[in-house]
Chain A
């Protein structure tokens, strides 16, 4: 597979976007809104000109500020799918898809994306999912060498999202194009990409396979962004192999990581057990947080529940058995080995 290389500096309003990235396979950039994610795509597509930098696809140079190379967007072989799809409202679905096809027939593409029956319709008559399929078909009709997706799932409702995400993952695998997608949702990124980069205020905080970001988050932001619980505390060395952390709430927790001073305590919801009673002698989990049961959120076949400051993920059956919906006091327990420490 080809490799897209981007390395540039682009001053934005509040900060400068500084990024060096190789894309081969699917890479997802995640980050809060305003982190500069969309600008990254625009620089690569040629819609924004950075102050300095290089963008190239294998040997093909699209931008090089030193040698004053700048290829306009229409001659970079990129397919950019816009966040709200940017379908042409004055053209039919068929004409939208054919726009960049250079006269090649697009019927097969329409069929492939199940929009053949909508060929004569106009974008404003379509549902969100249909619009996304039209946008993808239109982009692929151009026969791009690189695929850029801006928040591909953000405009969809929760119901269609899971299904579309699955379809999109399959499509990306099939296309085997260098793909860069940006999203504010870590779960989407993890589901779609081989590598995930966390972008905050124009800088990459960490880049790696989704599993690595979860296993070894480099800092507190990466940890909370990947969906972990983040508790603040002060670590002090203890005699044994474990580090003790005094939380702001006064409770003590233990971790197998070494640290000192102010730290973030990271634990993922699926590593937290919930019980109505707690018997320290009968539990291998060293860490216990006692708290009121708060809001319950259903996620597929699981339930996310808050116990004091900690979010736990349990099965729907457990949630029912423990009558979590009724509220009250519960204990969240997790093992010291599943408790990571990160700098704040």
Chain B
């Protein structure tokens, strides 16, 4: 049993160790200043930021509705929200093209407004939001469901309407779960590859995010593979940091009085 565990553990870690051991750290860092890397990094951060802002803005009310309202077809809706999670990325990419592409269902309509999504940054944002939002929404539903309904009722009887109750009671109490979901969503979106390359293409400085740049660089001689390694190392570090942040936020006890210093009650 211990042998099996050791093999599994080594199997999971070995590729990550390999990324850092192939080339010296100094060379890795030096590679990071190449334009192909900085372009991809900036683009990744920009598109992720916009996509996650959309996910939070639209996903939070959707999750709250699904968590608190009981209506016909609610469980079906919850299942459908999770569908993009299990969808193969290539299928997601084809779906996005069929929906929003030039000859897609909405292509004509978008065209009429002078909007062409293909090969634009907006297409990257859509692809990233599409594949990453279910992770946030799913976690947000669980977080909202965990809020004691008596606290919501108490807020209402104390004179706070639904909106004020949401911002003063529900959101502060669900924030830990929401943060965890957002961390997962962000990590998934940052690594998005399949749907993006199909729907948005891989143009350096326009639609080429870090994962796409890694894929493109690893075929380029002579230095491309080293550059790909450097970008991979960068993504490992970012993903690792996200994972740690996630663990820390989830292990926080809501009843710890320490939280009062982070979120001072508004008066």
A associates with B: yes
B157 touches A (CB below 8 Å): yes
A169 touches B (CB below 8 Å): no
In chain B between 115 and 166, which residues have their CB closer than 8 angstroms to a CB of chain A?
A: 148, 150-151, 153-161
Q: Mark B166-183, 1 if CB is under 8 A from A, else 0.
A: 001100110000000000
Interface size on B, residues (CB 8 A): 25
Q: In the complex, what residues of A have CB within 8 A of residue B221's CB?
A: none
Contact A82 B257 (CB under 8 A): no
In the complex, identify which listed stretch (A53-61, A93-101, A256-264) lies at the interface while the others stay far away: A93-101
A138 touches B (CB below 8 Å): yes
In the complex, identify which listed stretch (B65-73, B88-96, B198-206, B259-267) lies at the interface while the others stay far away: B259-267
Question: Shortest CB–CB separation between residue A140 and chain B, in angstroms?
Answer: 11
Contact A80 B257 (CB under 8 A): no
A90 touches B (CB below 8 Å): yes
Contact B153 A86 (CB under 8 A): yes
Could you say which interface size class chain A belongs to?
20 to 34
A84 touches B (CB below 8 Å): yes
Contact A88 B161 (CB under 8 A): no
Who on chain A is nearest to B169 by CB?
A88
Contact A91 B265 (CB under 8 A): yes
Q: In the complex, what residues of A have CB within 8 A of residue B169's CB?
A: 88
In the complex, identify which listed stretch (A70-78, A208-216, A238-246, A282-290) lies at the interface while the others stay far away: A70-78
Contact A74 B161 (CB under 8 A): yes
Q: In the complex, what residues of B have CB within 8 A of residue A122's CB?
A: 257, 260
Who on chain B is nearest to A76 by CB?
B157
Question: Shortest CB–CB separation between residue A253 and chain B, in angstroms?
Answer: 48
Who on chain B is nearest to A125 by CB?
B257
A202 touches B (CB below 8 Å): no
Q: In the complex, what residues of A have CB within 8 A of residue B155's CB?
A: 88, 99
> Could you tell me the distance between the alpha carbons of A88 and B267 in the complex, rounded to whole angstroms?
14
> Could you tell me the distance between the alpha carbons of A78 and B158 in the complex, rounded to whole angstroms?
8
Question: Which 9 pairs from chain A and chain B are nearest by CB?
Answer: A100-B158, A95-B265, A86-B154, A73-B156, A86-B150, A91-B265, A80-B157, A124-B255, A90-B172
**Chain A interface (Cβ within 8 Å of chain B)?**
42, 45-47, 72-76, 78-80, 82, 84, 86-92, 94-95, 98-100, 102, 121-122, 124-125, 138-139, 142
* Known A47-B157, A88-B155; further 5 A-B contacts with Cβ < 8 A: A46-B156, A80-B157, A87-B154, A90-B265, A124-B257
**Chain B interface (Cβ within 8 Å of chain A)?**
148, 150-151, 153-161, 168-169, 172-173, 254-255, 257, 259-260, 263, 265-267
